[in-house]
Structure 1
Amino acid sequence: MAPESSLFFDRNMHNPVQRKIRLGFFIAFSVIIAASFFSYLVTKNLLDNATRLNHTIEVSKRLETIIKQLKDAEAAIRGFNLTKDSAFLHPDMGERSNRIANEYAALRHITTDSQRQQRHLDTLKTLLDIKYKQLKLGAHSDTPNGEKRSVTEGEKVMDRIEQKVDDMMHIEDTQLHEKAELFRFFSVLWVPVIFISSLVAILIGIYSYVTLTKEFKLQLHIESKLKSYQRDLQQNIMLLNKSNQELEQFAYVASHDLQEPLRKISTFSDRLQIKYRDQLPPDASQLLDRMVLAVSRMRVLINDLLMFSRAGRIAPESITEVDMSALLQNVLSDLEVALQEKNAVVHAAQLPVIEGNITNFQQLFQNLLTNAIKFAHTGRQLEINISYQILNGKDITVVKENRWDEQFCRICIEDNGIGFDQAYAERIFLIFQRLHGISEYSGTGIGLAICKKIVDSHQGFIQAYGYPNKGATFVIILPLKQKK
């Protein structure tokens, strides 16, 4: 398996594992949330039950105190009536009544949330008032019949008071029982829920640990492979750079060395033409002319090849801020004669300042404008329009995401020449590729290849749009600042 496909396979395996881990943690989190919520319900019921129990105890204690105070008062009056000893009336009925009133007020306060208990307390208050009046009469009763009647009536009222107290205690006991049943229900569920949730959390924890361990090992394996691929890539880059340097040196040396034989051929052919032209038959003179033409074309081809081998070489120290408008005017000045021959009109906008190599930029514009002049339409005046736009990287489709924060200059060079078929838009930038025969248009097919090499070396883009018999547009996209 190739390194790239192996790495792709590892990454594809990596994604499902991440999804499983996320799902596991989501389930564990959900289980913990559910267990926490259920624990909250159990705790809340436990606290409510404890509060209700304390409330019942408090109500029971107050009611028992009231009953005890009443019975003590009743016993004291009976003792006084039997012995006529005033010691039985200490404390007196007023103080005993105040104690009962305090207990009643406390009961009224702690049962404010229960309408039923408040109604019972209203009835109890009426009975206590009746009982208090009976006790006061009993303390002043002098006849046996009066005493007997007082005891009988007091027992009836006391029975009614005790019945009312029993009713109130029954309400409290019922509410306490309901709370206890609800707590018992949650308690029965609480133990298995906590056990199951804990078991699920433990299993998920074990699974996550095992999965994370595998993931960590896989990550180490991927990092190891990436480092290995990076080393191989660096070696390949070094070999490629060395190969490119050797090719450039070969092209330069070959082009330079080929110049000498060409000069000799040219010199000998010139001498042959001057000295023996009149003595040569017509067909020999024709062959000699064709040889001279071939030598001339060979010289142009070698020079262009030499220029292509040198194009795009940018040293960091050669990068400067280039006034593209001034540079364009210099190029137009150099092409003035050719433009006049075609009766061409050039409309150029005021171009911005761009960082780059001034020599390369000059060669770029010269090749593109020469191309427009060469392929001018014979049936109309040549017009060349040069415009530009400043755009952000994210607004240009050919710019990758890592360069979206850069600013680019989009320069358009548009002409109304013969144009070309858009199917050949990529082919025209390849070296030695021609869309027309040499007999129709001169050239070696290297000019646009040089343009692409220059734009690529400046971290830019070049595109061509052709419209047969209407013209062509070349779009150059260059960053305003070169990355060091």
Structure 2
Amino acid sequence: MHFPVQKKIQVGFFIAFTVIVTASIFSYLVAKNLLDNAGRLNHAIEVSKRLEVITRQLKEAESAVRGYNLTKDSSFLNPSIKERIGRISNEYILLRKITAESEKQQRHLDTLQELLEIKYMQFEAGGQILSQQNKESSVKEGEKYMDMIDDKVRDMIRIEETLVQQKSELFHFYAVLWVPVIFISSLVAILIGIYSYITLTREFKLQLHIESRMKSYQRELQQNIQLLNKTNQELEQFAYVASHDLQEPLRKISTFSDRLQSKFKSSLPEDANQLIERMVSAVSRMRILINDLLIFSRAGRITPESIKPVDMTKVLEDVLIDLELPLEEKNALVNYDQLPIIEGSDTSFHQLFQNLLANSIKFASPERRLEINIHHRIMAGRDLEVVKETRWSEKFCRISIDDNGIGFEQAYADRIFLIFQRLHGISEFSGTGIGLAICKKIVDSHNGFIHAYSAPDKGATFVIILPLKQQQEGS
């Protein structure tokens, strides 16, 4: 399966983005654990420091009491026992705040509080004059509770060390993963960057090559268009000159045949007169054919200067006036809408309607009165199947011309718009087979469409689709 370059680059950048996000998450987790580990270590140091201060101050107070009991020197009680107890209590309060988030440490502090209260009472009692027996008993009690306090302090320090160890292990786990993740993600990002650079460079070069080829094609196309326009002009000039040149011998043939008939008709055999009549008829048809060719060569030839808003209703009414006599001969009934104003050549539109209506008159059914109905609809380009997507925003007028004539097989619907194509013999219906070809040429020159729909003895419908406004070059 072939993936386009744009899709590959999108997938590559998505993978790179995913890898970078993953690496960023790991980096965040490593940094967070590092900070947590440092915070936990600081917390453990702070707790150990406070516990050490409490232990030291307890031992200093106990040494002061013993010194006083041994020497009776009051200087050992300076600072006083009360001040020493106050300092220890302050340290205890700070320790309580520091360990507020640990229920286990708070329970240890509750026990430590009870032991400290006992020590406080021992200090206060030791500051008094005691007998020898009471002194010995007081020392033993002091050592006992001091050992208990030391055990409690060690338990609390052990808890802090355990938490620090746990944080260190988690940090080590992330640190071990972090290095390969960062390495792999960096490697993937580098590879994708190199691939993207190579792909984009190749695509850029290809784009430059395509643009160069397109410019070359455009130059060739422009040259071909100029050559084609020149050829068309030469062909039109040739057709015009040839037609005029053909007219002269036809006029002479017509003149000589007329003289021959007028002078020698009575003396010529009947067969000779018939041949002369056939020759005159052939000359007449040849003259009509030449005139139609001239009309065809000029049909649809529009310039920006000839494009203007055309009242299609007015054009249709003028055509009906021109065809008044043949319409009366057929006793025809013509129904039509008020048509809109359409940009184009009024002369070409006049010829378009005249040829289509003349076609309906020519192929009228002898069994019924000819009826022609002309209707229209304004439609958007997106609602018309024949209009390309690039023209969906344009407005079009769809004009239908229906008649109840003899009709034709739908299989010939495209053929009738070709030049010199006839569905009936010349003995049945007159004409050169150019009229509908002229209609198509006119509609094509106005960037429109024409179609025919019919069935034998069911009449015919010609549908013309014209843009309301002609797109000028450069617009």
The whole-number CA distance in structure 1 between the counterparts of 2:300 and 2:185 is 68
The whole-number CA distance in structure 1 between the counterparts of 2:470 and 2:145 is 108
Letter in 2 for 1:112: A
Secondary structure of the residue that 2:101 maps to in structure 1? Answer: coil
Letter in 1 for 2:422: R
The whole-number CA distance in structure 1 between the counterparts of 2:142 and 2:18 is 66
Matched with 1:360 is: 348
Stretch deviating more after TM superposition (358-367 or 26-35): 26-35
The whole-number CA distance in structure 2 between the counterparts of 1:278 and 1:41 is 124
Matched with 1:435 is: 423
Q: How does 1:56-205 map to 2 (within 5 A)?
A: 56-205=44-193
Deviation at 1:141, TM superposition (A): 4.6
Matched with 1:306 is: 294
Matched with 2:13 is: 25
The whole-number CA distance in structure 2 between the counterparts of 1:141 and 1:395 is 117
Letter in 2 for 1:195: F
Letter in 2 for 1:373: I
Q: For 1:346-378, what per-residue CA distance to the aligned partner results, in whole angstroms no more than 9, with x for missing partners?
A: 221111111111111111111111112212222
Secondary structure of the residue that 2:342 maps to in structure 1? Answer: strand
Q: For 1:184-212, what per-residue CA distance to the aligned partner results, in whole angstroms no more than 9, with x for missing partners?
A: 11111222222222222222323333333
One of 362, 371, 375 as aligned partner of 1:374 = 362
Q: For 1:426-471, what per-residue CA distance to the aligned partner results, in whole angstroms no more than 9, with x for missing partners?
A: 1111111111111112111111111111111111111222222212
Matched with 1:209 is: 197
The whole-number CA distance in structure 2 between the counterparts of 1:41 and 1:445 is 87
Matched with 1:4 is: none
The whole-number CA distance in structure 2 between the counterparts of 1:151 and 1:388 is 123
Matched with 2:394 is: 406
The whole-number CA distance in structure 2 between the counterparts of 1:226 and 1:181 is 66
Report the identity percentage: 71
Stretch deviating more after TM superposition (315-324 or 264-273): 264-273
Deviation at 1:256, TM superposition (A): 1.8
1:18 to 1:147, Cα distance in 2 relative to 1, 3 A: same
Deviation at 1:98, TM superposition (A): 2.8
Secondary structure of the residue that 1:436 maps to in structure 2? Answer: coil
Asked if the contact 1:460/1:478 (under 8 Å) is kept, the reply is: yes
One of 265, 280, 296 as aligned partner of 1:277 = 265
Asked if the contact 1:383/1:416 (under 8 Å) is kept, the reply is: yes
The whole-number CA distance in structure 2 between the counterparts of 1:110 and 1:472 is 101
Q: How does 1:307-322 map to 2 (within 5 A)?
A: 307-322=295-310
1:117 to 1:272, Cα distance in 2 relative to 1, 3 A: same
Matched with 1:45 is: 33
Secondary structure of the residue that 1:387 maps to in structure 2? Answer: strand
**TM-score by structure 1 length?**
0.93
Deviation at 1:17, TM superposition (A): 3.8
Matched with 1:480 is: 468
Matched with 2:325 is: 337
Deviation at 1:286, TM superposition (A): 1.2
Letter in 2 for 1:152: K
The whole-number CA distance in structure 1 between the counterparts of 2:360 and 2:129 is 140
Deviation at 1:22, TM superposition (A): 3.3
The whole-number CA distance in structure 1 between the counterparts of 2:59 and 2:374 is 118
Stretch deviating more after TM superposition (286-295 or 98-107): 98-107
Q: For 1:44-96, what per-residue CA distance to the aligned partner results, in whole angstroms no more than 9, with x for missing partners?
A: 21111112111211221222122122222222222222222333223323333
Secondary structure of the residue that 2:266 maps to in structure 1? Answer: helix
**TM-score by structure 2 length?**
0.94
* Number of residue pairs aligned between Structure 1 and Structure 2: 472
Secondary structure of the residue that 1:279 maps to in structure 2? Answer: coil
Stretch deviating more after TM superposition (154-163 or 318-327): 154-163
Secondary structure of the residue that 1:278 maps to in structure 2? Answer: coil
Stretch deviating more after TM superposition (300-309 or 208-217): 208-217
One of 313, 316, 324 as aligned partner of 2:312 = 324
Secondary structure of the residue that 1:354 maps to in structure 2? Answer: strand
Asked if the contact 1:141/1:147 (under 8 Å) is kept, the reply is: no
The whole-number CA distance in structure 1 between the counterparts of 2:38 and 2:61 is 34
Secondary structure of the residue that 2:426 maps to in structure 1? Answer: coil
Letter in 2 for 1:365: F
1:267 to 1:114, Cα distance in 2 relative to 1, 3 A: same
Secondary structure of the residue that 2:422 maps to in structure 1? Answer: coil
The whole-number CA distance in structure 1 between the counterparts of 2:95 and 2:329 is 119
Q: For 1:205-258, what per-residue CA distance to the aligned partner results, in whole angstroms no more than 9, with x for missing partners?
A: 233333333222222222222221111111111111111111111111111221
1:90 to 1:346, Cα distance in 2 relative to 1, 3 A: farther
1:224 to 1:81, Cα distance in 2 relative to 1, 3 A: same
Letter in 1 for 2:338: Q
Asked if the contact 1:415/1:473 (under 8 Å) is kept, the reply is: yes
Matched with 1:5 is: none
Q: Which runs of 5+ in 2 are unaligned?
A: none
1:144 to 1:413, Cα distance in 2 relative to 1, 3 A: farther
Matched with 1:7 is: none
One of 178, 201, 225 as aligned partner of 2:213 = 225
Q: Runs in 1 of length 4+ with deviation above 4 angstroms?
A: none
The whole-number CA distance in structure 1 between the counterparts of 2:172 and 2:230 is 84
Deviation at 1:31, TM superposition (A): 2.2
Question: How big is the alpha-carbon RMSD for the aligned residues of Structure 1 and Structure 2?
Answer: 1.9
Q: Which runs of 5+ in 1 are unaligned?
A: 1-11
1:138 to 1:364, Cα distance in 2 relative to 1, 3 A: same
1:21 to 1:80, Cα distance in 2 relative to 1, 3 A: same
